[in-house]
Amino acid sequence: MSGNTFGKLFTVTSFGESHGAALGCIIDGCPPGLELSEADMQRDLDRRKPGTSRHTTQRREADEVKILSGVFEGKTTGTPIGLMIENTDQRSKDYSKISEQFRPAHADYTYMHKYGVRDYRGGGRSSARETAMRVAAGAVARKFLEQRLGIRIRGYLSQLGPIKAEKLDWDQVHQNPFFCPDADKVAEMEAYMDALRKEGDSIGARINVVAEGVPPGLGEPIFDRLDADLAHALMSINAVKGVEIGAGFDCIEQKGTEHRDEMTPEGFLSNNAGGVLGGISSGQPIVASIALKPTSSLRLPGRSIDVHGNPCEVITTGRHDPCVGIRATPIAEAMMAIVLMDHYLRHRGQNGDVSVSTPVIGQL
Amino acid sequence: MSGNTFGKLFTVTSFGESHGAALGCIIDGCPPGLELSEADMQRDLDRRKPGTSRHTTQRREADEVKILSGVFEGKTTGTPIGLMIENTDQRSKDYSKISEQFRPAHADYTYMHKYGVRDYRGGGRSSARETAMRVAAGAVARKFLEQRLGIRIRGYLSQLGPIKAEKLDWDQVHQNPFFCPDADKVAEMEAYMDALRKEGDSIGARINVVAEGVPPGLGEPIFDRLDADLAHALMSINAVKGVEIGAGFDCIEQKGTEHRDEMTPEGFLSNNAGGVLGGISSGQPIVASIALKPTSSLRLPGRSIDVHGNPCEVITTGRHDPCVGIRATPIAEAMMAIVLMDHYLRHRGQNGDVSVSTPVIGQL
Amino acid sequence: MSGNTFGKLFTVTSFGESHGAALGCIIDGCPPGLELSEADMQRDLDRRKPGTSRHTTQRREADEVKILSGVFEGKTTGTPIGLMIENTDQRSKDYSKISEQFRPAHADYTYMHKYGVRDYRGGGRSSARETAMRVAAGAVARKFLEQRLGIRIRGYLSQLGPIKAEKLDWDQVHQNPFFCPDADKVAEMEAYMDALRKEGDSIGARINVVAEGVPPGLGEPIFDRLDADLAHALMSINAVKGVEIGAGFDCIEQKGTEHRDEMTPEGFLSNNAGGVLGGISSGQPIVASIALKPTSSLRLPGRSIDVHGNPCEVITTGRHDPCVGIRATPIAEAMMAIVLMDHYLRHRGQNGDVSVSTPVIGQL
Amino acid sequence: MSGNTFGKLFTVTSFGESHGAALGCIIDGCPPGLELSEADMQRDLDRRKPGTSRHTTQRREADEVKILSGVFEGKTTGTPIGLMIENTDQRSKDYSKISEQFRPAHADYTYMHKYGVRDYRGGGRSSARETAMRVAAGAVARKFLEQRLGIRIRGYLSQLGPIKAEKLDWDQVHQNPFFCPDADKVAEMEAYMDALRKEGDSIGARINVVAEGVPPGLGEPIFDRLDADLAHALMSINAVKGVEIGAGFDCIEQKGTEHRDEMTPEGFLSNNAGGVLGGISSGQPIVASIALKPTSSLRLPGRSIDVHGNPCEVITTGRHDPCVGIRATPIAEAMMAIVLMDHYLRHRGQNGDVSVSTPVIGQL
């Protein structure tokens, strides 16, 4: 299968470039009977939308999604859901210079090698603009999971450059422009970002995503483990360079007696596993963490080469996020929703609906 | 598709339980004309084999692979390659106790929830024994990549619990039982493992894998990015809890000017990207790093529950690896080989063979 | 994968209902560098379009296709091609009656069983309107095959109800409203259709499709034989009830000495195989034939039941094709083009480009 | 996916050549808890086995299948089922002549073009010997469908060369070596085959397959219609050149009023649809019919060319079926079982279990 489809039963196939006519996707395999309207998706799209604070790009993207099919009388019909966002803020711009240069740390050089041609307007297909469709599709999955299974998926920014959130207060997450769950760190982050913007530089970030209420049993052992598919999904987000499940890299220095999550009839005593054992959900919260690199679209000049192999200096003008991680929380949530949705349907296909014939235990 | 197949064009589908009659896999999509014999796979299988030092399980697994199809007169024919390893060291054992208990941090509890039934002999399908077939299949991919494209894939243990390798001397990797590239750390590791074995505990590890000579252009943007598929492949290995590409989690604190790999006509000036830009190989070495958790098969008792929901204490007897990471290097190499092979064929399908029409630059 | 995607490397995923906002599809995996504009697709869409003669439905569907992505400066970029046709002729209509009835021989009853809900406006997703996207996608495949490989794909109506074409004159096919290659039968067909229209009844048809210039070697043996994938593709067209390759059902009464296509250095002496041996193209023309049932949308009343299980009499008003086969030729051509394109890319992925190292022979 | 896997959720991946060490397959996605032993498969394998009458090849193939994994304590575990049949009757033979010749109407020529190499021993991978694994896998699907859903799948030979069965008496099917349901035609068939064998020629046949008890709702509209997947499955069987569903090619001359299957509360009044409407099962029997070509392995000389492009005369010695259709009934049943099984799981994945909320009607 081609690389623009994600999922096996709940599949999302997307199209669209940064500066093309429109972005869109087709969701195939959505169960019928789910109430769905544009508003369900718009809420998450608005959380991802640029320009909501001074800390993200000031580009205007209305990001208004339209449902073109698959919904009848307010409910999904089980047939493919076609979604589209028309591109509205395509400033006419002079691309003559950038069209011959490879911006360092961008996909320009690699697209050129792969295809022999590239759409250089705003990064074309390699632009993170594409993630809007992930968010839209994820909103459909999220709604189903919430309504039918009581699953809640939430994310937050746990680190912005050197500044780490030290508290996890879910109520704070939407009270600041960073999705930061620690109110005490917000001012520090604001100051950091203001300084960074002046400098013209960019910075990395870490996002955590948690799914609560996931029934035990989801995930296909061996290659399509739930955690492996999550890693696939999360690493496929632009700028992500690392993925952890549960204890993640900390497990390197853990002893077995420390890492293993003991069980009692009242529940698991810890969650180093991050809710996945042997590739299958355990009923504990699914916990993932990702690292996002700093954007490379900088007005500070960088050395590079042009299409003729000559050295050049590249300056990226235009409106860019100094920390792409800031807007990534809804995207990570969306990808987790899509993975869980897909695995729920896969599980139901092979094994019938999730059941509780075996004792289900929670987390103490 | 079901969860026991990996890859889109070069596909590996595997079967087999720890204590069943045999393990096996089918490689589909292998190009014809590749010289192939059992010996090509046996070399890597032997590197993964237990019992080669006192630091791994003393179980005896001959792990002798047989080619059942797809090779004629010493060459692949393009038809499916059937591989099989018969299980020979199945000690008859009394499973009556363990059959009703869920070992903490094992897949026992989750398999039971998923399937309503499980093969409790040695972990059944959830046993890492399954990775033997990954190594066998990976050896086929590796041979093709090496012969036709000059790609070299090598891994090493970069950290064992608290002990980090500080030098990367490839010649050392096969001179010690840990795949450790730093000769100065080997004695320390030996002592650490000896103490751990006495304690009855286990420890985590970190493995790095590097592919050199990968042509630019491999990887499908958006969902099937080369790094996303690598994350999928590596996270699907038993015990892996984290995956990094290039700078990985370090990129959180990197500024854009620091992270971006500048280019000159002579080559890239750094490799924070780990050889992947926009999901496509850049021609630089592909660099991945994974965290493996400590095994939970311990003779130190752990709290758990049984199938009736009653509390119990679990002691795992038998022969287990105190650090599963020690034997994981060939497995990680195999998964990287399979991913690269699959993406090479996918690239060739859509775009024709890899070419050098665009300037190819290396790493200074 | 879900049921709205066709192909493995050249994939077409479609969406849209008869009376929804729009129809669309995403073509993924198209090679880069192909010159492509809307006009390339419009030509085939216009051949399928209704209302071009009195013998097809008088519905007006502009069927104007728009390219939303994947084409830059007139050439494909290798990224997904998003296509859309907006629905323009959605007459507001009273569906109150039909919404509770199951039209006999339509998908109403089965959609209701599958999904528990259905879009009853014009058949919703089950409408043959969906085939417009197949034609658009097929036009892309056809253009590539023609330009790069010299493959020519053409179809014709070989039988309309009881009237069989007895000559194959390709020049005639586009000289009449039936795609009939036998000029001598056109008047008879016209008279037959006029009478049928008066009667209010409908009739079946047979369409043949031929691909010339297909290189030997395309097709994956065993399950994805070229002929098996063709059967899949052609049987998936609305109203198709039978598929033949080469001699088809005639081979039942053929002896082996008669059926086998003997070879000489000058070429094959016959083509009972229809260009496929062992599931792989032989270099001879690929020949397929399909049977299309008469439409069941009739103004002559039919017995049926309603959603409550009560008997009812159904009369289908509106504008319907009395012979859906008449407009099916471009659709069958499109599906053959998609199958060949997909198999060409699959072949190139595993085996490298098609070659002529083995003697290629034609048909005498 | 590569061409040796069939199905999306219930997948069968096979390997093996005519004269290799073994044939095998992996069934992935089988629901857990199904009682399964080798005997369940052996019954169908024995029905396909050669040498059971003088009318089929006298080759001895024990075709004893072994379960290598996926079954524990007599029940499926939900993990992959590995199956193997060792090849036992590999007569050592001189292949020097045939290795350089292309047998007319065989896959020799096309395999050579595709792969540049071929296993010429007994046809290698292109041998119908491969169908043994289809029968074994189909037996698993059939058992599940029968036990859980009450589906019964049966086939019969409806035509042998010029001789058509005129009655359908299911009790007769296993009373004669042809799977012929018309006792009155058996003597005629015997005489015909005896004469044919003397002649050294071969003949085609027609097989019908019927599935009763299929719940309404199975099948994915658009590309993966139930009938399209059946066409794929059946056309992928060696020697098949045509597939019909329901009325098949007869529908060309049917009028709409004749073809449409009217419904009453008591049931459908006919079954021209063959149990599939809009690609989804209607609850009526699924009816398919296939044409099998005469084998081309004849001792009567045929004109051909060799690998150097020179003309030659080919005589196929050895033991061959003069009518491959005679042994094809269990194979066609198996493929129908696999398709229905796969679609049942796919349906359950997206829509939950089959239900009867809508009135289910039968066939009068």
Cross-chain CB nearest to B227 (options A1, A235, A278)? A235
| Of B202, B263, B355, Cβ closest to residue A256 | B202
Q: Do C351 and D115 touch (CB under 8 A)?
A: yes
CB spacing of C82 vs A24 below 8 angstroms: yes
Query: SS3 for B155?
Result: strand
Q: Locate the chain B residue with the closest alpha carbon to A8.
A: B1
- Identify residue C128 by its one-letter amino acid code: A
Asked if the Cβ–Cβ distance from C80 to A28 is below 8 Å, we say: no
pLDDT recorded at residue C321: 86
Binding residues of D for FMN: 125-127, 238-239, 278, 293-297, 319
D223–C305 CB contact, under 8 Å: no
- In B170-310, which ranges are E strands? 205-212, 240-245, 263-264, 267-268, 276-277, 280-281, 286-292, 302-305
Per-residue pLDDT reduced to its tens digit, C56-69: 877 777 789 999 99
- Dump pLDDT digits (tens) for D6-19: 999 999 999 999 99
Q: Which helix (H) or strand (E) holds B24?
A: strand B22-28
Alpha-carbon distance B341 to B137, whole Å? 11
Asked whether the CA dihedral A143, A145, A146, A151 is positive or negative, the reply is negative
CB B332 within 8 A of CB A291: no
CB distance B116–D75 less than 8 Å?
Answer: no
Q: B9 at the A interface (CB within 8 A)? A: no
What is the spatial distance between Cα B146 and Cα B135, in angstroms, rounded to a whole number? 16
Residue D354: per-residue pLDDT? 86
Distances (CA, A) of B337 to B12, B138, B223, D4: 12, 6, 19, 22
Please report residues of C whose CB lies closer than 8 A to that of A13. 5, 13, 26, 28, 80
Q: Whole-angstrom Cα distance, residue A227 to residue A221?
A: 10
Give the residue numbers of the binding site of B.
Answer: 48, 54, 125-127, 238-239, 278, 293-297, 319
The closest CB to that of C104, out of D241, D252, D261, belongs to D261
Flag if C9 and B348 touch (Cβ within 8 Å): no
Instruction: Quote the CA–CA distance of C235 and C136 in Å, as a whole number.
Output: 18
Q: Which of C110, C116, C274 sits opposite D278 (nearest CB)?
A: C110
Helix (H, G, I), strand (E, B) or coil at B281: strand
- Flag whether residue B257 sits within 8 Å of chain A, measured between CB atoms: yes
Residues of each annotated binding site of B for NADP(+): 48, 54
Per CB-CB distance under 8 Å, the chain A contacts of D79 are: 221
**Domain locations in chain D?**
5-351
Q: Which residues 37-66 of chain A have a CB within 8 Å of chain C? A: 66
What gap in Å lies between CA B258 and CA D152, rounded to an integer? 67
Residue length of chain A:
364
What is the β-pairing status of strands B267-268 and B81-86? unpaired
Residue D96 at interface with chain C, using a CB cutoff of 8 Å: no
Distance from C-alpha of A269 to C-alpha of A276, rounded to nearest angstrom: 14
Measured CA to CA, the distance from residue A59 to residue A49 in angstroms comes to: 9
Decide: D54 and B101 in contact? Cβ < 8 Å.
no
> Cα distance from D145 to chain B (closest Cα, Å)?
18
ipTM of the complex: 0.96
Cα–Cα distance measured from residue C129 to residue D228, given in angstroms and rounded to the nearest whole number: 18
Nearest to D303 by CA among B234, C261, A95, A116: C261
DSSP string, C162-213: TEEP----GGGGGGSTT--S-GGGHHHHHHHHHHHHHHT--B-EEEEEEEES
* Positive/negative CA dihedral, B216, B221, B224, B226: positive
Residue contact D221–A79, C-beta within 8 A: yes
Q: Mutate which of D263, D276, D295, D300 to disrupt the C interface (most C C-beta within 10 Å)?
A: D263
Per-residue pLDDT of chain B (364 residues; tens, 9 = 90+): 579 999 999 999 999 999 999 999 999 999 999 999 999 999 999 998 877 788 887 777 778 999 999 999 999 999 999 999 999 866 656 677 788 899 999 999 999 999 999 898 888 999 999 999 999 999 999 999 999 999 999 999 999 999 999 999 999 999 999 999 999 999 999 999 999 999 999 999 999 999 999 999 999 999 999 999 999 999 999 999 999 999 999 999 999 999 999 999 999 999 999 999 999 999 999 999 999 999 988 989 999 999 999 999 998 877 778 999 999 999 999 999 999 999 999 999 999 998 655 566 755 5
Q: Say if C138 is an interface residue toward chain A (CB within 8 Å).
A: no
Nearest Cα of chain D lies from the Cα of C271 at a distance, in angstroms, of: 10
- Whether the CB-CB separation of B235 and A188 falls below 8 Å is answered with no
Among A358-362, B349-353, D218-222, name the one with the lowest average pLDDT.
A358-362
In the three-class reduction of DSSP (H, G, I as helix; E, B as strand; rest coil), residue D220 is classed as: coil
Collect all residues with Cβ–Cβ distance below 8 Å to D195 and sequence separation of at least 6: none
Q: Do A249 and B311 touch (CB under 8 A)?
A: no
Rounded CA separation C10/B157 (Å): 40
- C182 near C165, Cβ under 8 Å? yes
Instruction: Quote helix, strand, coil % in chain D, to nearest 5.
Output: 35, 20, 45
Coil, helix or strand at residue D282: coil
Chain B's closest residue to A114, CA to CA, is B217
The pLDDT tens digits of the residues spanning D284-313 come to: 999 999 999 999 889 899 999 999 999 999
- C351 contact A CB<8A: no
Both tokens of B101, joined, read: 């208990």
Q: List the single best residue of A126, A129, A198, A235 to mutate versus B (max B Cβ within 10 A).
A: A235
pLDDT for residue C297: 85
**B200 Cβ contact partners less than 8 Å away, ≥ 6 residues apart:** B298, B299, B300
Structure tokens at C336: 């053959």
Does C77 contact A9 at a Cβ distance shorter than 8 Å?
no
Q: Are C50 and C177 in contact (CB under 8 A)?
A: no
> Model pTM?
0.97
Chain A neighbours (≥3 Cβ pairs under 8 A) are: B, C, D
Q: Is D314 helix (H, G, I), strand (E, B) or coil?
A: strand
Binding site per annotation, positions of C: 48, 54, 125-127, 238-239, 278, 293-297, 319
Residues at the binding site of D are: 48, 54, 125-127, 238-239, 278, 293-297, 319
Neighbours of chain D (3+ CB pairs under 8 A): A, B, C
Give me the phi and psi of B238, to 5 degrees please: -50, 135
Q: What are phi and psi of A135, to 5 degrees?
A: -65, -40
Q: What is the pLDDT of residues A261-296, one digit of tens each?
A: 999 999 999 999 999 999 999 999 999 999 999 998
Interface A-D, measured as beta-carbon pairs within 8 A, has a size of 48
B209 φ/ψ angles, rounded to the nearest 5 degrees: -130, 140
Q: Residue D364's pLDDT band (boundaries 50, 70, 90)?
A: low
Query: What 8-state DSSP symbol labels residue A226?
Result: H
Distance CA A53, CA A58 (A): 8
Rounded-to-integer distance, Cα C140 and Cα C157, Å = 23
- Dihedrals phi, psi of A13, to nearest 5 degrees: -120, 125
Which residue would you say has higher pLDDT here, B95 or A329?
Answer: A329
Q: Does C117 contact A8 at a Cβ distance shorter than 8 Å? A: no
The C-alpha torsion from B53 through B58 and B59 to B62, rounded to 10°, is: 30
Residues 6 or more apart in contact with residue A343 via CB below 8 angstroms:
A218, A219, A220, A226, A229, A281
Residue D318 has pLDDT above 80, yes or no: no
Contact B2 D114 (CB under 8 A): no
The tens digit of pLDDT for each residue in C181-223 reads: 999 999 999 999 999 999 999 999 999 999 999 999 999 999 9
Question: How would you write the pLDDT of chain C (364 residues) with one tens digit per residue?
Answer: 579 999 999 999 999 999 999 999 999 999 999 999 999 999 999 988 877 788 887 777 778 999 999 999 999 999 999 999 999 866 657 777 788 899 999 999 999 999 999 898 888 999 999 999 999 999 999 999 999 999 999 999 999 999 999 999 999 999 999 999 999 999 999 999 999 999 999 999 999 999 999 999 999 999 999 999 999 999 999 999 999 999 999 999 999 999 999 999 999 999 999 999 999 999 999 999 999 999 988 989 999 999 999 999 998 877 778 999 999 999 999 999 999 999 999 999 999 998 655 566 655 4
Output the DSSP codes for A302-318.
EEEEBTTS-EEEE---S
Rounded Cα distance, C189 and B145, in Å: 60
Smallest Cα distance from D73 to chain C, Å: 32
Nearest C-alpha neighbor of B325 from the set B41, B14, B42, B48: B48
Chain A: nearest CA to B73, how far in angstroms? 32
Amino acid C359: pLDDT: 61
Neighbour tally for A181: CB within 10 Å? 24
Instruction: Tell me the chain D residues in contact with residue A26 when contact means C-beta distances shorter than 8 Å.
Output: none
Mutate one of A36, A79, A342 to test the C interface: name it (highest C CB count within 10 A).
A79
Chain A residues with CB under 8 Å of B228 CB are 231-233, 235-236
Each residue's pLDDT tens digit, A65-93: 999 999 999 999 999 999 999 998 666 57
Contact across the interface for D264 and C219, Cβ inside 8 Å: no
* Residue C128 touches partner A, C-beta closer than 8 Å: no
Q: CA geometry: angle at D58 spanning D323 and D190, to 5°? A: 45
- Going by the DSSP 8-state scheme, the letter that residue B290 receives in this structure is E
Mutate to test the interface with C, among D6, D11, D12, D114 (most CBs of C within 10 A): D114
Please tell me the CATH superfamily of domain A5-351, with its number: Chorismate synthase AroC (3.60.150.10)
Of A79, A345, A351, the CB nearest to D78: A351
Cβ contact, residue pair A224, B8, below 8 Å: no
What SS3 class is residue B194?
Answer: helix
Q: Which two tokens stand for residue A166?
A: 């030290």
Residue A58 reports pLDDT greater than 80: no
Render A98-162 in DSSP notation, one character per residue: GGGB--TTSSHHHHHHHHS----GGGGGGSGGGHHHHHHHHHHHHHHHHHHH--EEEEEEEEETT
Rounded CA separation B30/A22 (Å)? 38
* Owner of token pair 């087709």: A26
User: Greatest CA separation found in chain B?
Assistant: 67
What percentage of chain D reaches a pLDDT higher than 70?
Answer: 95
The alpha-carbon gap from D27 to the nearest alpha carbon of chain A, in Å, equals 12
Report, in angstroms and rounded to the nearest whole number, the Rg of chain B calculated over CA atoms.
21
Q: Rounded CA gap, D140 and B36, in Å?
A: 33
D362 close contact with C: CB closer than 8 A: no
3-state per-residue secondary structure call for A17-33: CCCCCEEEEEEECCCCC
Q: Which two tokens stand for residue D162?
A: 């010029």
C117/D contact by beta carbon, under 8 A:
no
d(CA B293, CA D178): 60
Integer Cα distance of A358 and C350 in angstroms: 46
Verify whether the Cβ–Cβ distance D22 to B125 is below 8 Å: no
| CB contact C223 to B (< 8 Å) | no
D185-194, long-range: CB within 8 Å, 24+ apart, which pairs? D188/D163, D189/D160, D189/D163, D190/D55, D192/D160, D192/D161, D192/D162, D192/D163, D193/D55, D193/D160, D193/D322, D193/D323, D194/D54
Contact A241, B274 (CB under 8 A): yes
